[in-house]
A and B are shown apart, each in its own frame.
Chain A
Amino acid sequence: MASAPRPERAPRLLAPCLTRYPPPPSPTTVGFLSMEEEETYLELYLNQCAAQDGLAPPRSPLFSPVVPYDMYMLNASNPETAFNLNPEVKETSGGFSPVDLSFLPDELTQEDKDQPVIGSKHETKENSESQSQQSRLPSSSEQDIGLGLNSPSLSNPHSQRHPSDTDLVQASPEKPDSNSLPLASITPMSPVTSVSECCGIVPQLQNIVSTVNLACKLDLKKIALHAKNAEYNPKVRFLISLLLTKLECNGAISQSRLAARKYARVVQKLGFPARFLDFKIQNMVGSCDVKFPIRLEGLVLTHQQFSSYEPELFPGLIYRMVKPRIVLLIFVSGKVVLTGAKERSEICEAFENIYPILKSFKKA
């Protein structure tokens, strides 16, 4: 327990002023996309995707991030009303492979050869997406400096000086040179590789939640009868089916897709006209170990806007990173769990952001 006196916290009566968003961009971001522009651009893109998919917004309660890999749910009701029958398949493979081009959707290869127009429109969309991602990278590195990663200067978390939250976040853009962070050295044009530059620690993917639209009515009872490893609960009307592919790190996303295709094939074999539409990764969970203990009490003091540490409820600290939008669970043993990602690059980026912060809390 720190012997330093705790700062007197004035009770915030009716002031919901603390939001979880970073401050307005510093002058150093001139020339790149400003934060607000980025946000709106991102929102626009997501809205377009949502409109095309006809899916619920990504935060729909159906897809909780902690569903184990081998149980994923299909919407049993008539999907034609719920989903858009637009035969496009988007796989968000992110910066996973070095060649980040869109690929042809399943539909085009198997059946509908007469939809190349839509296909090509898709390709351009994928390209523009990857371009926008890349153009976001330099501003993200700038912005991260502005996001309060001034941890090297706050080496002693129990120091007497407790700067207020606003000081913390605004002070950092003024001294970018004190940040010997490798973040600034990320070259914009290279795809995000899976090896982080600062530590050689790579977050391993543990779990992927994905959905696919089979676009046909399913008789759940029949499937439960004829398929092994399937259970049907009439009250909930969900079919849970265990496919035996194990999840392993680097192949995770393609494994997920392969498993989904196997599932569709099984359903096809049972006589339903199943198709393979809208394969989408909803959530990815990764974990890694920084191999040193972390002073969570200190971390929650300096990063109050992002952290939530309640030892009475949960032993880990919950860190909600704004950019990328990832939630990290940080434990005292140094193990970190990252969740909420739609792409592998987000997980790597989030880890690269958090590693310098954690390093500053290494010394007891």
Chain B
Amino acid sequence: MNENLFASFAAPSMMGLPIVVLIVMFPSVLFPTPSRLINNRLISIQQWLIQLTSKQMLAIHNQKGQTWALMLMSLILFISSTNLLGLLPHSFTPTTQLSMNLGMAIPLWAGTVITGFRYKTKASLAHFLPQGTPLPLIPMLVVIETISLLIQPMALAVRLTANITAGHLLIHLIGGATLALINISATTAFITFIILILLTILEFAVALIQAYVFTLLVSLYLHDNT
């Protein structure tokens, strides 16, 4: 039972070859390139969704920040599609791997910080000390603000990993409990099944929300530095 619980998080391989790269690349197949002025229904719906999200997300940015539009939209599309595909039974979810999420979070966060230090050095350094801080608190607050800046990529990655992993584990556990209870008590099994249905609906929402939160936070870090 213990081995089965975490088996779905192991890196998948087929005939000894790792196929995790194929799994990571797969969601891009679901977003075909628009090739006409008026496209088919799938592409039109995707374009509408992308426009809606990008308008809302890029509204706070100035011209410099809006150069990150492609990056931010690719990020939210990738994470949301990966999370949603991971809810299919027996599928592997790349965003449950901390290594992958760190690989997304650290370069993006570092990019925003380096952009800020390069173009607005004074403002970026002054950001470590909130305005109006009393004199005795200044050194401590500078240290605290530095630590909170350095923790940002870790928090980004761990938040996504923990949320998706926890959801998958819960579904696995409650699904197992439902199966085990069928022979013991049909009523309890039915109630557990209802809980499983509700949890799955919640996980659909969490998959989209976590993608949005990740992208929004990167967008906010960019806004602070541009």
A binds B: no
B residues at A contact (CB < 8 Å): none
